[in-house]
Amino acid sequence: MTTTTTPMKHKQNPLRVGSTTIGFADDITLADLLQSEPCHDEVISFISNVVKRCVAEYDVLNANDRKLTVELMAINSTIDNGLRQDAFDRLKGQRATYRN
């Protein structure tokens, strides 16, 4: 028997957390996270990954998500490639340690 797979359609607002979590997070900015020593590398990785994904899905994003993507692209473009690579290298080492 042969089956075919249909690609998943992009959900327009796939919220995975509740309003309480959103409320707590509302007071934390991306700038706060970038300035936080324990968060810095993860935030750089997050920005890079979100931009990559959103650019790939840009045509199916709603207007708000497109605006956010453009803003994240601007932030991403200001991160020095050497700094980004250092962050990725540190994360790779940390994640390898967590797995062991």
In a domain, 5, yes or no: no
Task: Tell me the C-alpha distance between 53 and 31, whole Å.
Answer: 21
Residues of the domain holding 65: 39-99
Contacts of 20 (CB under 8 A, 6+ apart): none
Secondary structure class of 100 (helix, strand, coil): coil
Rounded average pLDDT over 78-90: 96
In a domain, 22, yes or no: no
pTM exceeds 0.85 = no
Determine the pLDDT at residue 9: 52
Confidence of residue 19 (pLDDT cuts 50, 70, 90): confident
Number of domains in the chain: 1
In a domain, 55, yes or no: yes
In a domain, 65, yes or no: yes
In a domain, 24, yes or no: no
